Amino acid sequence: MVTSLDKNTALVLIDLQKGIIALPLAHPVAGVLANAAKLVEAFRKAGQPIVVVNVNTGNAKWTKSRKDSKQGAFTPPENWLEIADEIKTEATDIFITKHTWNAFYETAIDEELKKRDITGIVLAGIATSIGVEGTARAASERGYNITFATDAMTDMVAEAHDNSIKIIFPRIGEADTTDKIIEMLG
């Protein structure tokens, strides 16, 4: 349950891109996107920053593991990186392309948040146990107060989603519904 939001809180949307939302997901993607869109509208109205993160693993710099080398070559569809139509972005939003599970690794997200004196983030997106959790762990290590919009995220595997929500997230932040977070945003 969310108890408060910092005065300077940013919304961080993880991988709500056409290529990801087309994957088989544990929860209906329409509901996830509708709730994420509500958060965007509320943060915009409150004058708080919105960070839109997508993932492009094609240029990843990490060392390939044995597991990576066994997976077949993946050619993403042409629109893989495009943000879902339901998420109405604006030129003033902060756009970050990550290359790993964690939006902080070798990107400018931390610098962009610090420039704006951001101390708290609200996280939403896909996949709960991968991009959202990876980013949350890195944000926690950097001292951000984290709030999770649990009805604005999903995963490819229901059990992985549930593990993040029930076990991991309570240890590093607070979690609640989109409507409750919007209410706290005031």
Cα dihedral 110, 114, 47, 173 in deg (nearest 10): 60
What is the average per-residue pLDDT within 26-37? 98
User: At 102, which amino acid appears?
Assistant: N
Do 130 and 163 form a contact (C-beta atoms < 8 A)? no
Residue 33 confidence (pLDDT):
99
Confidence of residue 186 (pLDDT cuts 50, 70, 90): confident
What is the average per-residue pLDDT within 17-44? 97
Residue-wise pLDDT for 125-169, tens only, equals 999 999 999 999 999 999 999 999 999 999 999 999 999 999 999
Residue-wise pLDDT for 54-82, tens only, equals 998 775 555 556 555 555 555 667 888 99
More confident residue, 84 or 73: 84
9-185 homologous superfamily: Isochorismatase-like (3.40.50.850)
User: At 79, which amino acid appears?
Assistant: N
Q: Output the six-digit token pair for 161.
A: 């989603």
Q: Is 115 helix (H, G, I), strand (E, B) or coil?
A: helix
Phi, psi of 134 (to 5 degrees): -60, -45
- Angstrom CA distances, 41 to 50, 77, 128, 149, stand at 10, 29, 22, 14
Question: Is residue 110 over pLDDT 70?
Answer: yes
Residue 78 confidence (pLDDT):
80
The pTM for the full model equals 0.92
State the DSSP H helix or E strand holding residue 31, giving kind and residue range, or none if neither: helix 29-46
User: At 48, which amino acid appears?
Assistant: Q
What are the boundaries of each domain within the chain? Answer: 9-185
Nearest to 100 by CA among 15, 27, 180: 15
